Amino acid sequence: MLLANFSKFILETGTDEAGRGCLAGPVTAAAVILPEDFENTILNDSKQLSEKTREKLRPIIESQAITFAVTHLHPNEIDEINILNASMKGMQECILKLNPVPEFIIVDGNRLLNAKLGLATTFGKQFSKAEIELLKSIPNQSIIKGDSKYMSIAAASVLAKTYRDDYMNAIHEEFPMYNWKKNKGYPTKEHREAIRKYGVTKYHRMTFRLLPEQLKLDI
């Protein structure tokens, strides 16, 4: 059974991301503050839930949450600052969107959310000094496998996954040959064969190993 709270602060937010291991599409982050009396027996880590169950949970989370936020960080930004930093930046952006401001943050993984702040980037949001100070001021705790332990992180994982799936379904219509509607940009055999046949798109992450073997130029 998932736990309701880690810190004992009422305004505790859980945050998580989806799509770190994909070859194409954004990494999508979400943050959720749930009310103290929130209960749901089917909520779990989004990876343990069927697509149908995730879609059922999303409106429940959105309607009952005190506040929530979702952010996409796109391939150009991922390629510039790397996927780990992009994942953390996405979660930081979500925290800044929350109203009310959380009193405590729990984040899935082994890295504190405010470990690296204000990365100078060509693409995406630029944090102001005030935003950086706000993020620094909120105590936070990283929790390994937190999405299978705490309701707010599990709720964030569901939102991140469903919003990212919606995005991938939309860009599938633009490039149907990659079948993103099914593989969601993950490195499946089908996806890699499509890259080999059709090349890359603006949605592919160019710093990722898109094909198993190293490509060489004939000189």
Q: What is the mean pLDDT of the chain?
A: 94
Residue 207's contacts (CB-CB under 8 Å, 6 or more residues apart) are 78, 79, 82
For residues 1 and 206, what is the distance between their CA atoms, to the nearest angstrom? 40
pLDDT at 2 exceeding the cut of 60: yes
Stretch 53-65: mean pLDDT: 98
Quick one: pLDDT at residue 219?
29
pLDDT at 64 exceeding the cut of 70: yes
The phi-psi region of residue 19 (left if phi > 0; otherwise alpha if psi is between -120 and 50; otherwise beta) is: left
Quick one: pLDDT at residue 115?
83
Confidence band of 212 (pLDDT split at 50, 70, 90): confident
Confidence band of 217 (pLDDT split at 50, 70, 90): very low
For residues 110 and 39, what is the distance between their CA atoms, to the nearest angstrom? 26
What domains can be seen in the chain, in order of their start residue?
A: 12-172 (3.30.420.10)
pLDDT one-digit tens code per residue, 88-121:
999 999 999 999 999 999 999 999 998 889 888 8
pLDDT at 175 exceeding the cut of 50: yes
For residues 102 and 119, what is the distance between their CA atoms, to the nearest angstrom? 22
Are 20 and 184 within 8 A, CB to CB? no
pTM: 0.94
State the binding site: 16-17, 108
pLDDT one-digit tens code per residue, 117-142:
988 889 999 999 999 999 999 999 99
Helices (H) and strands (E) in the chain, counts: 7, 5
Strands 140-143 vs 104-108: parallel, antiparallel or unpaired: parallel
For residues 59 and 75, what is the distance between their CA atoms, to the nearest angstrom? 28
Quick one: pLDDT at residue 1?
86
Stretch 193-219: mean pLDDT: 82
State the binding site for a divalent metal cation: 16-17, 108
